[in-house]
Structure 1
């Protein structure tokens, strides 16, 4: 067995992460290189916002949003690149928003990006799309905007986008209803799950069939990892190869990160905007 073969997938991901941080590389370092098909490059924008790249494909999820005091905000210089489809955020293929809350989505930013990037398609909930339709310039991008909210227990499939969408509730008793999507999408050879702000029970998660999807990376809010009602359920039911804790509060410190480590040793998390990790297939 070669040395490369002997490395565990988790250790290989760590080594690849370290290797991609070049000496003197700034937070806004730009590159035209896209991650090869056997690697998934994940760049943190803020909160639940990420850019994912592999095999010449780019997906931007929950990254077009404005300021929200409780959670990490996007620095102005990064936000301008995200919104205007510049730098690493140029040529994104798919824009996704799990729901319409202001820490995940901004309608003006979505339309601005679509106007600047004619190859992108935006998919979100009908609640989010209703806000997009109100924006100036929407008529120029309307054919690339899709709203979907499937019935619970079903999926909406967009094969041409490499996307399946699930209805994962944001709290069963929440009033008014907040439409929240589970986003299951392909980036190159990788299958990624991002669940928005779901508060599914263990039984509800088991009923989704996500355990049969062979998910490479699951991106879930930290409460699904650290609180007793949910602790361990993603790891035992979905069984992703890799797991990322997201939606971390802006005031989190070492004790908070250690709590995540103790609750879910498998999970990785991102602390700084434009921090990048590379995962292997």
Structure 2
């Protein structure tokens, strides 16, 4: 009987440890994700309102909950914005959330910080929890934000002028032994990503924009210079939702999943 009881306790402890170490990535909208562990929650590029008709956005009911930091958005530890464009960041929504939730911190590039400061009237109330850095192109730096380790990489934004002039940061999140990379709207060309030695970091998941994966040459670059175990493809135009997964598979990606279903959860364990 004692042996059976001990075995049961051991199994229960094992299940608890598994759940404690589990990391979830929940798709929100466009390129926004919600990363969760047992005790930490991070939103990346998820706090924004409608900017472009051809991209998805959270329903108004969810935006209101997020704005007011009401359940299930009342335990967010960190909000990250990769850059200032309105399909990734909204200063008033973000500011309202920080004001409603005194534990939440924010980090973004310097020009994103400046827009936040200019457009959110209550900025002084939350300024001690709003953080930034001025990284030069291809420069990296590491931070501890609300006890979460984050590495930021300055990478060129894809596209032509003026889009490519945006200060765009990629983030590498370290959480429960997992490494999750979110590249924002980075141009995934060899000049941009070959300088960072990302493949050496043994990344578990990379969240990449749909716009930047569409050729066998680009696939080779991603596999060589990022080398993540799983690719989550986001920033997909609404008109491409239905065929996105098939298109990605036909390109030859073996480890890539299209993010098109709002609130879908991917479990990393």
Give the TM-score range, shorter chain. 0.7 to 0.9
Q: Deviations over 1:228-264 (max 9, x none)?
A: 5522322232111221001111122433331112222
Partner SS for 1:69: coil
Q: Is 2:151 aligned against 1:164? A: yes
Distance 2:48 2:228 in 1: 27
- Provide the residue aligned with 1:133 in structure 2: 117
Q: 242, 259, 263: which one pairs with 1:270?
A: 259
CA distance change for structure 1 residues 252 and 73 in 2, over 3 Å: closer, same or farther? same
Question: How many residue pairs end up in the alignment?
Answer: 246
Q: Is 2:77 aligned against 1:93? A: yes
TM normalised by structure 1 equals: 0.82
CA distance change for structure 1 residues 235 and 94 in 2, over 3 Å: closer, same or farther? same
Offset at 1:203?
4.0
Q: Is the 1:55–1:187 Cα contact (8 Å) retained in structure 2?
A: no
Distance 1:118 1:57 in 2: 15
Extract structure 1 runs of 4+ deviating beyond 4 A.
Answer: none
Q: Is 2:185 aligned against 1:191? A: no
- Provide the residue aligned with 1:19 in structure 2: none
Q: Is the 1:57–1:188 Cα contact (8 Å) retained in structure 2?
A: no
- Larger of the two Rg values belongs to structure: 2
Distance 2:32 2:67 in 1: 13
Matches within 5 A, 1:1-281: 36-67=19-50, 68-134=52-118, 135-160=120-145, 161-171=148-158, 174-175=161-162, 177-228=165-216, 230-263=218-251, 264-280=253-269
CA RMSD in angstroms comes to: 1.9
Q: Deviations over 1:59-114 (max 9, x none)?
A: 10001101021211111111122222222322111100100001000000110010
CA distance change for structure 1 residues 41 and 244 in 2, over 3 Å: closer, same or farther? same
Offset at 1:186?
1.9
Partner SS for 2:218: coil
Offset at 1:221?
0.6
Offset at 1:173?
5.4
> Which has more helix, going by share of residues?
2
Structure 1 unaligned residues grouped into runs of 5+: 1-34
Q: Deviations over 1:22-50 (max 9, x none)?
A: xxxxxxxxxxxxx9343221111100111
